[in-house]
Amino acid sequence: MLQSPEEHLDEVRTLAHKRDRHQPEYLQAVDEVFDSLLPVLHEHPEYIENRVLERLIEPERQIMFRVPWFDDNNRVHVNRGYRIQFSSSLGPYKGGIRFHPSVNVGIVKFLGFEQIFKNALTMQGIGAGKGGADFDPRGRSNAEVMRFCQSFMTELSRHIGEQTDVPAGDIGVGSREIGYLFGQYRRLANRYESGVLTGKGTGWGGAEVRTQATGYGAVFFAEEMLAKAGYGIHGRTALVSGSGNVAIYAAEKIQHLGGKAITVSDSNGYIVDESGIDIDLLKQVKEVERARLTEYAARKPSARYVEGGSVWDVAGDFAFPCATQNEISEENARTLLKNGVIAVVEGANMPTTPEAFDLFHEAKVLFAPGKAANAGGVATSALEMSQNAARSRWDFDKSESRLHAIMRNVHDKTYEASERYGQPGDYVLGANTASFVMVADAMIAQGVC
């Protein structure tokens, strides 16, 4: 006899916890998805029969490799590189590469698992993968970063390809790193395979709006979610964390829409600028000079720099966590709620701890989960892949309006699924169920593989 959905979820969850007990972030991501799936399994016993969940929690392939490189003093360093190819039932593996000292197999797996559902929601025919290394590009010269990227790609190049696996950027991997990675791939492959990486420079195969896409996309999603609940961005204040790719362009789009982003942060502290973050100055400091936020404060009299502390102590209408995983703790959530936060929009991947999420959920705060809200980046990467395949190039306006349409669609699909499963406006339930059904149906159609 077939297991009940409750028994089945329990069994597979226990298996994941037993097998990957040293990977807390991965288990957190699995639990978050599993918590939404009961009503789906009740409707689809074939998912239990075909052991879809058990197959889904095991990546199709995990690659771990040595990355040796020379620093500027001719000293040899060795880092650990990863590429986890999670699921290819909807298309080639697709997902970013992260360079950060905290990278380990559990972090890459949580990111790859999230990517399965996010990529499904974009409806762009992309599977899921993620990679990275425990390398810290901060404080390294361009030459050191280049040598590291070349060594990383020397191994990675055997495993990727425009029909196989298409990496992009993430924390610590921006346009400079993608350039060095692409250069080395081209050299090793001896062909110009544009579609093998996304986030390329716009002069050599990159799509317009890819740089802006994750931040802009999160704000487009927020706009839809807020409108549905009777709110707007205009005239409201937003707290943004992080000061990298996602944070900069989320803040920029908030200001375009008449809101005011009043904070940004990094791992050392945060800026409060009640007059609104000066986006040009922020780009100059972070993108051009690669300097720290103290530089921003030194040049902007209205800005206050707070060393340490938490950006979530500041009062604002909306919270846009755009830095890293688990950056909103239970205590942070309590402070945000006390200060009257209306909506939380995850620009980063899994920035809200489960305890903080429970508090937001209980307080009925509007909550946009990262796998839906930050899908604009990978969706625009898919647009870059199509332009590369067709050898075409879209201008900025066309690219932005395609991104906007995709984010509206991601919102609507997510909202509809939340209604269908009886919790209208529960975007976590909506995102998990809508995407899971797409992936599960494809897995069943393609047989046990």
Query: Is the distance from CB of 31 to CB of 13 less than 8 angstroms?
Result: yes
What residue number has its CB nearest to ligand NDP? 244
* Interacting residues with ligand NDP (CB under 6 A): 169-172, 174, 214, 242-247, 266-268, 322-324, 347-349, 374, 377
Pick 247 or 341: Cβ nearer ligand NDP: 247
Q: What is the DSSP letter of 204?
A: G
For 251, 254, 275, 279, 345, the CA distances from 237, given in Å and listed in that order, are: 11, 9, 10, 15, 13
Q: What's the token pair of residue 373?
A: 């809200």
Minimum distance, C-beta of residue 44 to ligand NDP, in the bound complex (Å): 29
Residue number, 2 or 291, with CB nearest to ligand NDP: 291
Tell which residue, 323, 262, 263, 273, has the closest CA to residue 298: 273
Contact 132, 148 (CB under 8 A): no
Rounded Cα distance, 385 and 41, in Å: 34
| Nearest alpha-carbon partner for 346 in 252, 427, 229 | 427
Min dist. Cβ of residue 371 to ligand NDP (A):
9
List, in sequence order, every residue forming a beta bridge with 44; answer none if it has no partner.
none
CB nearer to ligand NDP: give 47 or 115: 115
**β-pairing verdict for 61-70 and 76-87:** antiparallel
413 is catalytic: no
Q: Which is nearer to ligand NDP, 309 or 340 (CB)?
A: 309
Smallest distance, Å, CB 111 to ligand NDP?
Answer: 6
Which runs of consecutive H residues, i.e. helices, occur in 52-156?
A: 52-56, 105-122, 142-156
- Record the tokens describing residue 110, joined without a space: 């949580």
To ligand NDP, the closest distance from the beta carbon of 253 in angstroms equals 14
Q: Shortest approach of ligand NDP to residue 233 CB, angstroms?
A: 20
C-beta atoms surrounding 24 within 10 Å: 13
Residue (118 or 147) nearer to ligand NDP, CB:
118
Q: Which of 308, 305, 307, 332 is nearest to 321 (CA)?
A: 332
Q: Which is nearer to ligand NDP, 283 or 420 (CB)?
A: 283
Residue 127 main-chain phi, psi, to 5 deg: -85, -160
Angle at 425 between CA 443 and CA 328, to 5 degrees: 85
Catalytic pick from 94, 109, 118, 130?
130
Structure tokens at 428: 């976590």
Neighbouring C-beta atoms of residue 330, cutoff 10 Å: 14
The structure tokens listed for 303 are: 């800005």
The residue among 129 and 377 lying less far from ligand NDP, judged by its C-beta, is: 377
Neighbouring residues of 119: CB distance < 8 A, sequence distance ≥ 6: 90, 91, 94, 95, 126, 127, 128, 375, 378
Residues carrying an active site annotation: 130
